[in-house]
Amino acid sequence: HIERRWWKEAVVYQIYPASFLDTNNDGIGDIGGILSKLDHIKSLGATAIWLSPIYASPQKDMGYDVADYRSIHEPYGTLEQVKQLIQELHKRSMKLIMDLVVNHTSDQHAWFIDSRSSRKSLRRDWYFWRDPNYDADGIRQPPNNWRSIFGGSAWTYDQDTNQYYLSLFLPSQPDLNWDNEAVRQSVYDDIEYWLDLGVDGFRIDSMNLMSKHQDLPDAPIIFPGEKYQPGDKWFASGPRMHEYLQEMRKVFDKYDAMTVGELGFTKDVKSVLEYVADSRHELNMVFTGDIVDMDFGKEGKYVRDDFHPDKLRSITNQWQTTLAQNGGWNSVYMDNHDSGRSLSRYGSDLPKYRSHAAKLLAIYLCSVSGTLFLFQGQEIGMANIPKNWTIEEYIDVEGRNYYNSVLEARGGDASRMQDVLDQLRLKARDNGRLPMQWNSSSNAGFTGSEIRPWMRVNDDYNLWNVENQENDSQSVLSFWKKILKIRKEYMDLFVYGTFEPIPAGTYGQNIIAYGRQDGSQKVVVLLNFSDKECQVQFDIMDTWRVLLSNFENYDCNNGKIVLHPYQGIILCNWDK
């Protein structure tokens, strides 16, 4: 028996503020834009918004570098508008989830400015400061061999005090030292500030990096010959991680706030349960990331490894049969601001498949158990950056750093970079950051037609936009509305019901299939994750009816269902 909670039933719509809607014609999305589209989000069937960071920030990493947790990045708007947003959401019975980025701050945060000012600063220990190492030739080196998640050393040298500070992401994102109690209390104060204003929960950024091994030991050599190595063995899910979460949870519990932690590197079921099992009093759920990483190569994100339905099947079966059954809970998502669009990677954005593939992914997401997270644009089937765009259109620091490092390794020959561009086109974070496509006017209605948006608008906006799809009952948007209604109507089954995996091979390699059940109500979900027609042996004649499919016509005869490319179908055992 699974306990009912509001956050388990939530449909969370993630907004990437810079790319949502610009209302003052500076080319950057803003809170005014969000306020004006609440009815769109509500009509879709979402019950909450997760807002990527809107705090004051020099924007070296699009706001994931916070300079002041209590004030708003000016181009986005004012605190008054955020209060209004909370009010308008609550009026609509919707919730606001904010991003909590406290593994690190910006180097412009007052805490860091103070910490950096002198070795004697009272806040020196709020960050990780260490003396240089000197190699055999007497050359200054970082304190250890950790590699930054964005490339290069994870240490940044400070000339004035002749020490290095730890920066697992950018040099402008120094890691906070959570082992220092004053740091933790200050962060909790900032959290309470927002909860007092009425915020309903947090998505906790880089959650499990907040406790590092206290000796910061060298990383094992995983890539021989490379100077810097992945140090996650020592900086992910460190020794005091659970202690800190339990301490922080006391703050959240005062407000019945929801939490979802971004969990990197730690992947096994047992460890995940230690974060999310109810009895642990830590987090409500985590983003494990394995679905957004399905096409990453072993040697790194941008190394080619094709998507195969087998991967999605086994990841789905693993989490769907373990977390909720052991007092934990799943988050369900395929898209966010850190990844290419799932449509372009696991479905297809070719014109002949695009609409059906987007709906297939919707069927998957809405028919498994957990709290559902959608990313802006997913509801209209937005796609990745077009093939013919050049490297100049990619802005994000992660992809740019990768491109530049390969370019350098290849002697600066830009004509030999096509393979890297192909990988960026699939997985670069920029893909999820193109402006939202509202209508077919120039710049897709995202900003004024004469304005240059901060990121280029996808070439396909003329056809693929909200306005067109609102007026089309066959559109991806109409389908999302329909399926979210069904998910809500049969919440006990789709959100809380049991999950029965149907083993690989039962219906062929390309089909993902599973059963869901609540009491006597059952569904079977059949998903063709390929561009091939597939025949499935399934006798639906007497007991089963079609609850929903992404194709108008289905062909079920003599115990066989013929699934079109990218067809998904939910069969139910009750009369509709």
Assigned token pair, 54: 């809107």
Considering the rule CB under 6 A, would residue 357 count as an interface residue with ligand TEU? no
Q: Which residues of 66-104 are buried (b: 16+ CB within 10 A; e: fewer)?
A: bbbbeebbebbbeeebbeebbebbeeeebbbbbbbbbbb
Of 33 and 340, nearer to Ca ion (C-beta) is: 33
- Pairing state between β 68-72 and 55-56: antiparallel
CB of 479 to ligand TEU, least distance (A): 28
Positions 3 through 62 that interact with Ca ion (CB under 5 A): 22, 24, 26, 28, 30
26 binds, among ligand TEU, Ca ion, none (CB under 5 to 8 A by kind): Ca ion
How many whole angstroms separate alpha carbon 37 and alpha carbon 41? 7
149 binds, among ligand TEU, Ca ion, none (CB under 5 to 8 A by kind): ligand TEU
CB of 41 to ligand TEU, least distance (A): 21
Query: From residue 420, how far is each of 224, 317, 406, 425 by CA, in Å?
Result: 22, 32, 8, 9
200 binds, among ligand TEU, Ca ion, none (CB under 5 to 8 A by kind): none
Of 25 and 325, nearer to Ca ion (C-beta) is: 25
101 binds, among ligand TEU, Ca ion, none (CB under 5 to 8 A by kind): ligand TEU
Please confirm, yes or no, whether 310 is among the known catalytic residues: no
Q: For ligand TEU, how many residues bind (rule: CB under 6 A)? A: 14
- CA nearest neighbour of 309 among 336, 340, 347: 347
Query: Residue 91 forms beta bridges with which residues?
Result: none
How many whole angstroms separate alpha carbon 210 and alpha carbon 120? 24
Of 194 and 287, nearer to ligand TEU (C-beta) is: 287
Of 194 and 464, nearer to ligand TEU (C-beta) is: 194
Positions 385 through 404 that interact with ligand TEU (CB under 6 A): 398
Decide: 263 and 272 in contact? Cβ < 8 Å.
yes
Q: Is 153 helix (H, G, I), strand (E, B) or coil?
A: strand
Considering the rule CB under 6 A, would residue 264 count as an interface residue with ligand TEU? yes
The letter for the amino acid at 148 is S
Please confirm, yes or no, whether 262 is among the known catalytic residues: yes
Considering the rule CB under 6 A, would residue 69 count as an interface residue with ligand TEU? no
169 binds, among ligand TEU, Ca ion, none (CB under 5 to 8 A by kind): ligand TEU
Q: According to CB under 6 A, which one of 16, 126, 129, 169 is a site residue for ligand TEU?
A: 169
CB of 206 to ligand TEU, least distance (A): 5
How many whole angstroms separate alpha carbon 499 and alpha carbon 513? 11
61 binds, among ligand TEU, Ca ion, none (CB under 5 to 8 A by kind): ligand TEU
Positions 59 through 98 that interact with Ca ion (CB under 5 A): none
The letter for the amino acid at 213 is H
How many whole angstroms separate alpha carbon 434 and alpha carbon 10? 26
How many whole angstroms separate alpha carbon 127 and alpha carbon 123? 8
How many whole angstroms separate alpha carbon 479 and alpha carbon 485? 10
Considering the rule CB under 6 A, would residue 149 count as an interface residue with ligand TEU? yes
Query: Residue 229 forms beta bridges with which residues?
Result: 146
Interface residues toward Ca ion, by CB under 5 A: 22, 24, 26, 28, 30
Binding positions for ligand TEU, rule: CB under 6 A: 61, 64, 101, 149, 169, 205-206, 262, 264, 301, 337-338, 398, 429
Please list the active-site residues: 205, 262
